[in-house]
């Protein structure tokens, strides 16, 4: 879709992503203790933020669909779930790449890893439900209910897994109000990267939502056409 | 508010008393899962309490999801769900009644599992087992709430029987952590007070999902 909105979002995400890449590789100083591998953090955290954001959208749009019943909310919820799955996967992958040199293992059952992994499984269940079922209003309601249940679960997952075990570094804020990014340039890079990923997410969401809307229109046109043919055959 | 709760509950229990299908299916399935666990991990060892607690929860999750699928399929085959929807009973009340029935069946299966667990894992009868009861009841309340809500969904899509555990297990994960940690602790001899945090977590999970199921059930049960 060549709407001005789409072109604007594409341009904004290209430019902001270029800026983020420049800052990550050329501007920000290398972290003293972890070395070069720490730079992946500027992609890791924005991915996590976008994954959480899209999970929120899945639930809110799902609730709006149950309340108002308009198909666009269901399409938004579906599009957000797909992107959430993508970015949640990226969080796990970038986290693993970072964890191998720093912790010495690809995977460990730390609290945030476990929480993210459970979220990933929830997304997976949501998308499997969509994949197994036809695109009907009934399934849209089922998906909305599952999405809402998933988001309601997040606080309890976080608490339970934190009580279970944790070794993840407190990157942003610790209880004492300190954060792990000592250099202001690191904070700037993180903020630009966050903005870039958010714009990219909005663009992708916009594209996917457009595709889903078109698909719904196509299904309706096909149905109308079939009805017309039946009417014509009877005449 | 809960008009119709009693009759639905009585109907399901009477049906069960006459056929015994759910009890037999749930009990045999959960005992089989225990046997698999014992064969895979061995009955003894220092981590006896942990393995026993794990076996208990694995048996519960899979027996629970299968039981819920079965109960709902039977309802749909006989057209009972449609009858209930046509009757002047609130969908939320149907949910409450179905939840109560699911809890009773799971508690039955759980009781059978506990007895077998004691025998298989050589646990001492007595206080430890009594302390397991509240942990266990809090756990099945949450599981039954989830299964009752989501079995309605899985009953109406392709490959639903496979999809139900896929949906239930990640959602149940926090309760599973709390439940198995608390069970392992009390089986190893800890007091209930020492696992209070886990119990509170289980209770919070129950309240959340019973409320969510109560409010959301009408959206999954209505048919187009």
Nearest CB among B149, B159, B224 relative to A138 is that of: B224
| pLDDT one-digit tens code per residue, B124-173 | 767 777 888 888 899 999 999 999 899 888 888 877 778 888 999 999 99
Nearest CB among A122, A124, A145 relative to B216 is that of: A145
Confidence band, pLDDT 50/70/90 cuts, at residue A59 = very high
pLDDT at residue B211 in the model: 92
**In the A/B pair of chains, how many CB contacts fall below 8 A?**
92
pLDDT at residue A176 in the model: 45
* Partner-chain contact B156 A160, CB within 8 Å: no
- Say how many domains are in chain A: 1
- A63 is in which domain, residue-wise? 15-23+40-168+182-205
pTM: 0.84
Interface test with B, best of A149, A152, A163, A164 (most B CBs within 10 A): A149
ipTM of this model?
0.84
| pLDDT one-digit tens code per residue, B5-37 | 888 888 888 888 888 777 888 888 888 888 888
Nearest CB among B170, B175, B197 relative to A125 is that of: B170
Does residue B42 have a pLDDT over 80?
A: no
- Say how many domains are in chain B: 1
Tell me the pLDDT of chain A averaged across its residues: 83
Give B 144-173 residues with CB within 8 A of chain A: 146, 149-150, 153, 156-160, 163, 166-167, 169-171, 173
- Bridge partner residues of A31 (DSSP): A35
Average pLDDT of the residues in B188-197: 81
Average pLDDT of the residues in A103-125: 84
A161 chain-B contacts, CB cut-off 8 A? 174, 177
Give the torsion sign (CA, A18, A22, A25, A30).
negative
Nearest CB among A121, A124, A132 relative to B157 is that of: A132
- B99 is in which domain, residue-wise? 5-221
Does residue A60 have a pLDDT over 90?
A: yes
* Partner-chain contact A152 B212, CB within 8 Å: yes
Name B118's Cβ contacts closer than 8 Å, sequence gap at least 6.
Answer: B125, B129
B204 chain-A contacts, CB cut-off 8 A? 156
Q: Would you say residue A3 lies in a domain?
A: no
């Amino acid at each position: 879709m060549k709407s001005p909105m789409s072109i604007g979002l594409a341009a904004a995400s290209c430019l902001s992503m270029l800026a983020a890449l420049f800052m990550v590789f050329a501007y920000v100083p290398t972290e003293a203790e972890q070395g070069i591998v720490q730079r992946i953090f500027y992609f890791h955290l924005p991915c996590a933020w976008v994954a959480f954001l899209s999970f929120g959208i899945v639930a809110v749009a799902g609730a709006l669909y149950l309340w108002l019943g308009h198909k666009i909310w269901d399409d938004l919820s579906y599009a957000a779930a797909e992107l959430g799955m993508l970015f949640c996967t990226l969080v796990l992958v970038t986290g693993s790449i970072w964890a191998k040199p720093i912790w010495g293992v690809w995977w460990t059952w730390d609290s945030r890893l476990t929480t993210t992994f459970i979220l990933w499984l929830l997304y997976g269940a949501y998308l499997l439900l969509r994949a197994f079922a036809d695109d009907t209003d009934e399934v849209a309601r089922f998906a909305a209910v599952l999405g809402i249940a998933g988001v309601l679960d997040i606080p309890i997952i976080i608490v339970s897994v934190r009580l279970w075990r944790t070794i993840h570094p407190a990157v942003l804020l610790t209880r004492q109000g300190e954060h792990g990014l000592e250099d202001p340039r690191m904070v700037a890079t993180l903020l630009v990267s966050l903005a870039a990923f958010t714009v990219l997410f909005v663009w992708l969401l916009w594209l996917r939502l457009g595709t889903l809307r078109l698909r719904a229109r196509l299904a309706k046109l096909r149905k109308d056409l079939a009805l017309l043919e039946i009417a014509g055959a009877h005449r | 508010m809960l008009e119709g709760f009693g009759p639905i509950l009585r109907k399901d229990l009477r049906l069960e008393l006459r056929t015994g299908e759910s009890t037999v299916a749930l009990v045999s399935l959960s005992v089989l899962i225990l046997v698999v666990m014992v064969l895979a991990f061995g009955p003894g060892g220092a981590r006896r309490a942990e393995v026993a607690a794990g076996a208990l929860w694995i048996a519960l999750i899979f027996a629970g999801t299968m039981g819920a699928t079965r109960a709902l399929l039977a309802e749909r085959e006989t057209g009972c769900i449609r009858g209930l929807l046509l009757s002047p009973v609130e969908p939320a009340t149907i949910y409450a009644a179905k939840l109560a029935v699911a809890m009773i069946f799971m508690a039955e299966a759980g009781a059978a599992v506990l007895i077998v667990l004691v025998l298989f894992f050589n646990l001492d009868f007595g206080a430890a087992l009594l302390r397991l009861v509240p942990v266990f009841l809090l756990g099945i309340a949450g599981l039954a709430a989830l299964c009752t809500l989501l079995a309605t969904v899985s009953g109406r899509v392709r490959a639903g029987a496979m999809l139900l555990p896929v949906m239930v297990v990640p959602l149940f994960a926090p309760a599973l952590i709390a439940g198995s940690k608390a069970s392992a602790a009390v089986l190893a001899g800890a007091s209930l007070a020492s696992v209070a945090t886990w119990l509170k977590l289980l209770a919070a999970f129950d309240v959340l999902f019973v409320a969510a199921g109560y409010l959301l059930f009408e959206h999954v049960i209505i048919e187009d």
